[in-house]
């Protein structure tokens, strides 16, 4: 067996494995080749033996024959499951299964060129491509997400020497249209808080915290009473709650160090939280042996301590809007409202950035720059009235 194989040094720690097989119909010897990383000749010979065994067992797949759909399975097992969070991988699978694989899966991996990636991304803008039946194409932010998934997959294929170059690297990153976020005005927030007084306390508290602290949905659901210091009026944002299909609930650290932060509550919220804390303690006593929260004591939970499913806050919010006829914005836009309220009060962008848990003040400026410009114009107008008075 060893007589049929050979190794060739290609560079620093790089070796080419060659396995000479039978002759083809034209009298030319068939060869299988593979370039590997090995620290010395001994290791390269060991890898050659494994390479030959793989070929003779019929388990070796020539990289030039690998279909994109087959490589995606390799990518999932060798990279995605090890280096992506379970939730990120779950989010990746919807575009892969519903858009990317049906369009590109049948291609041989090495046959996919930049033009195929460009054509695919362009197709996502076409009317009728959406799976929810709504008119129009995908949002620009969704198209960018597809681009990122493709870039990750092809980067691994290039890194593992399966393809000579990454076709996505030659494709310009899709531009995301900056959509102005919808928020409530100061007056609308006052009206909202009046309407919330008739709502169940747990729903009222969640919406109040979203508007006054700017916490994300997962951060709200991941809050535990040990994170709340009513004496010092602080909330420690240490976790975010996720639900992974087939695995259940996960408490994970925020994705960036800046997302782990301390947020100060105003006095009104502290008084509301004291009432809510008292009610939750009563619920736990009443649940007795039926308590199912385990070691966790979630701020927002079912009567027996289990955390809420991630879609629950949005469902509450839509029902509240429908029932009251109040102006609709998305639940996530309550976080944007929190930022807009601070901007209107003249709070510095750096403070807003830290309060919202942004990794960089540039993120705050990019997302809320138009509100800051509006506040700046209003400030200038106030100066104008001063000079007119003179």
Domain boundary residue, one of 60, 80, 100: 60
Q: By the 8 A CB rule, do 345 and 352 touch?
A: no
In a domain, 384, yes or no: no
Question: Which residues, in sequence order, are CB contacts of 305 under 8 Å at separation 6+?
Answer: 284, 287, 291, 292, 293, 294, 296, 297, 298
Same domain, 104 and 225: no
In a domain, 338, yes or no: yes
pLDDT value for 386: 62
Euclidean distance between CA atoms 152 and 59, whole angstroms:
26
Same domain, 117 and 266: no
Give the residue-averaged pLDDT of 56-67.
Answer: 72
Residue 207 has pLDDT above 50, yes or no: yes
Sheet holding 228-229, edge to edge: 228-229, 234-237, 261-264
Supply 278's token pair: 């008292």
In a domain, 283, yes or no: yes
Q: Which long-range contacts (CB under 8 A, 24 or more apart) does 278-286 make?
A: 279/201, 280/225
Same domain, 54 and 81: no
3-state secondary structure of 225: helix
pTM, full prediction: 0.71
Q: By the 8 A CB rule, do 107 and 116 touch?
A: yes
Same domain, 275 and 369: yes
Same domain, 324 and 243: yes
Supply 10's token pair: 């290609």
pLDDT value for 387: 66
pLDDT value for 64: 65
Percent of the chain with pLDDT over 90: 56
In a domain, 37, yes or no: yes
Q: Each residue of 284-335: pLDDT tens digit? A: 999 888 988 888 999 999 999 999 999 999 999 999 999 999 999 999 999 9
Q: Each residue of 90-119: pLDDT tens digit? A: 999 999 999 999 999 999 998 999 999 999
Same domain, 96 and 162: yes
Same domain, 41 and 101: no
pLDDT value for 360: 77
Same domain, 249 and 341: yes
pLDDT value for 3: 44
Task: With cut-offs at 50, 70 and 90, classify the pLDDT of residue 30.
Answer: confident
Distance between terminal CA atoms of the chain? 100
Residues spanned by the domain of 49: 2-60
Task: With cut-offs at 50, 70 and 90, classify the pLDDT of residue 2.
Answer: very low
Give the gyration radius of the chain's Cα atoms: 28
pLDDT value for 16: 86
Return the CATH number at 290: 1.10.443.10
Return the CATH number at 112: 1.10.150.130
In a domain, 177, yes or no: no
Number of domains forming the structure of the chain: 3
* Look-up of token digits 């508007």: 211
Put residue 288 in one of left, alpha, beta given phi > 0 → left and psi -120 to 50 → alpha: left
Euclidean distance between CA atoms 380 and 274, whole angstroms:
41
SS (H, E, C) 248-308: EEEEECCCCHHHCEEEECCHHHHHHHHHHHHHHHHHHHHHHHHCCCCCCCECCECCCCCEC
pLDDT value for 376: 64
pLDDT value for 329: 94
Q: Where are the alpha helices (DSSP H) in the chain?
A: 41-56, 68-75, 81-83, 86-95, 101-104, 114-123, 140-159, 186-196, 201-213, 217-221, 267-287, 312-324, 333-344, 349-356, 361-389
pLDDT value for 381: 67
What does each C-alpha distance from 54 to 34, 37, 143, 166 come to in angstroms? 12, 17, 39, 27
In a domain, 344, yes or no: yes
Give the residue-averaged pLDDT of 340-347.
Answer: 86
Tell me the sheet residues that pair with 16.
8, 35
Looking at per-residue pLDDT, the higher value among 216 and 32 belongs to 216
Same domain, 215 and 337: yes
Q: By the 8 A CB rule, do 300 and 308 touch?
A: yes
pLDDT value for 1: 41
Domain boundary residue, one of 41, 60, 79: 60
Same domain, 45 and 115: no
Euclidean distance between CA atoms 344 and 18, whole angstroms:
69
In a domain, 387, yes or no: no
With vertex at residue 354, the alpha carbon angle to CA 344 and CA 368, rounded to the nearest 5 degrees, is: 40
Same domain, 13 and 159: no
Q: Each residue of 221-243: pLDDT tens digit? A: 999 999 999 999 999 999 999 88
Same domain, 264 and 346: yes
Q: Each residue of 271-288: pLDDT tens digit? A: 999 999 999 999 999 988
In a domain, 100, yes or no: yes
- Residue 66: in which H helix or E strand, if any? none
Percent of the chain with pLDDT over 70: 90
Question: Which residues, in sequence order, are CB contacts of 295 under 8 Å at separation 6+?
Answer: none
Domain boundary residue, one of 14, 42, 60: 60
């Amino acid at each position: 067996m060893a007589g049929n194989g050979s190794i060739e040094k290609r560079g620093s720690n790089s070796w080419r494995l060659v396995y000479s097989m039978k002759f083809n119909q034209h009298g030319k010897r068939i060869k299988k080749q593979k370039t590997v990383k090995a620290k010395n000749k001994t290791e390269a010979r060991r890898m050659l033996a494994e390479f030959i065994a793989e070929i003779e067992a019929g388990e070796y797949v020539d990289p030039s024959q690998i279909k994109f759909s087959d490589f995606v399975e390799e990518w999932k097992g060798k990279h995605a499951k090890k280096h992506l969070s379970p939730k990120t991988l779950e989010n990746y699978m919807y575009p892969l299964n519903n858009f990317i694989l049906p369009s590109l899966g049948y291609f041989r991996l090495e046959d996919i060129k930049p033009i195929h990636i460009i054509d695919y991304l362009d197709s996502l803008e076409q009317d009728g491509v959406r799976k929810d039946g709504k008119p129009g194409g995908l949002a620009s932010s969704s198209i960018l997400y597809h681009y990122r998934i493709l870039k990750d997959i092809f980067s691994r294929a290039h890194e593992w020497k399966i393809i000579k170059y990454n076709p996505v690297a030659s494709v310009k990153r899709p531009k995301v249209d900056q959509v102005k976020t919808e928020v409530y005005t100061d007056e609308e927030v006052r009206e909202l808080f009046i309407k919330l007084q008739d709502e169940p306390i747990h729903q009222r508290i969640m919406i109040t915290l979203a508007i006054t602290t700017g916490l994300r949905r997962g951060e709200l659901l991941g809050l535990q009473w040990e994170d709340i210091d009513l004496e010092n009026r602080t909330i420690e944002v240490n976790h975010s709650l996720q639900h992974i299909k087939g695995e259940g609930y996960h408490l994970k650290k925020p994705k960036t160090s800046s997302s782990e932060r301390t947020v100060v509550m105003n006095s009104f919220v502290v008084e509301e939280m004291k009432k809510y804390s008292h009610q939750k303690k009563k619920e736990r006593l009443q649940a007795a042996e039926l308590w199912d929260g385990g070691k966790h004591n979630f701020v927002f939970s079912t009567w027996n301590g289990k955390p809420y499913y991630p879609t629950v806050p949005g469902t509450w919010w839509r029902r509240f809007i429908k029932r009251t006829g109040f102006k609709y914005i998305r639940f996530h836009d309550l976080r944007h409202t929190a930022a807009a309220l601070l901007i209107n009060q003249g709070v510095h962008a750096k403070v807003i950035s830290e309060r919202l848990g942004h990794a960089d003040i540039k993120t705050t400026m990019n997302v809320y720059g138009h509100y800051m410009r509006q506040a700046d114009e209003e400030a200038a107008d106030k100066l104008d009235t001063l000079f007119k008075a003179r």
